[in-house]
Amino acid sequence: MRLKNVGFTLVELMVVIMIVGVLASVMVPMMKARVDKSKWSEACTSAGTIRSSIRNYCVETSVDTAKALAGTNLGNTTAQDSLGFTSTDLEGTYFSAGDYYITSINSNGIAVITVVGGSKDGAPSGSFVLKEDGSWEKQ
């Protein structure tokens, strides 16, 4: 009796390796984008909190007083104190207080917040703006 050789040929193995390589090269950028998006969610949450604090500050003082905060970096402890933040409230895994800027405040007390990434290890690069209508725009 003859035994039949069973197994994969070298060509079949090379095709499988090539397919796995192509899939990996497509998946890595997609996964990196997902990881960056999850890192930016930290900034989105903090920017929303800053925006709410500015609205409260407008109610406590006035919109004109709050407008004086426009152009302020939240690394500034005076701005943090005015809005009721402590020095560690805006410190996160990827973003620090100095990454948040109050770009402008409109006549209704709604602020535009700009968040710049990259100040901490592993932070995503670029910047996002929380616009008046509540949407986010990548810069």
Output the tens digit of pLDDT for each of the chain's 139 residues.
666 777 788 999 999 999 999 999 989 888 888 888 889 999 999 999 999 999 999 999 999 999 999 999 999 889 999 999 988 899 999 999 999 999 999 988 899 999 998 788 888 988 999 998 888 888 8
| Rounded (10°) CA dihedral 64, 115, 53, 82 | -70
From the CB of residue 91, how many other CB atoms can be counted at a distance below 10 Å? 14
For 114, phi and psi rounded to 5 degrees?
-110, 135
73 half-sphere exposure, CB direction, 13 A CA radius: 7
Strand, coil or helix: what is 137?
strand
Is the overall model pTM greater than 0.85, yes or no?
no
End-to-end CA distance of the chain: 73
Q: Look-up: residue for tokens 């007390």?
A: 109
